[in-house]
Structure 1
């Protein structure tokens, strides 16, 4: 919301594939930092996971937008949409946690990163297929999974 107040809703210009690429950049940077153990830019892994959370929510908001949706949205409207997408994804997380027995707690953070990267590649393939799928849950479900994996990583890092 702070960036919305600073920049407005400039993200509205991004096509879904561009948002997917932004998530990819963040996840790839996390993987690089995990492997090299050194950052020359100074930004930490925690900030990158937070970025993935925000871009996933932005992606879901864009999926609900159309050509009639103005580029500039009020901060109040953005906050309402953001909170709706976050709550919907949190509800999914609790349902999956129940079914999977909170397996994420025993996973390595690096595995969560790899799962995010795999989901990104799935989304890119769906986008390249113009949204047509045979068996996939679809793009939104993949964004929700990436968001939840990022939240799990943030919890494991002690940031959430």
Structure 2
């Protein structure tokens, strides 16, 4: 369900877990040349922002998802740029709040380890997907999301 959905991941995980999610921004800076090489389409309108976040339960503090977003801020409304840069709001929630019409394309589904330098801990392979988000006909973001499947799927199994 999570790997193939084309809606906002934040809302799906909130519905699944029963708790509001908050973005724990681990790193946010101008994309390196290696990160910029992951941009799949035309040249971005400006420098890319690389953002590494954990989506955590507001009550439990559990990390449900690890995400890397490459963002072309020039493709987004000014108010949304400020919200992403300074308020640390999850990207999907900000897109909805600002009513940005988007077209999402699933680029890949895999099972790899999230970047340990950005998220810490011992890298383990997790189910992940990469999604391209277009706004106004241009690529606005490329997002890779790693799902903590053990925690998410444990919710689907009734306790005995």
TM-score (norm 1): 0.25
Relative contact order, CA 8 A, sep 6+: which one is greater? 1
Bigger helix fraction: 1
Bigger strand fraction: 2
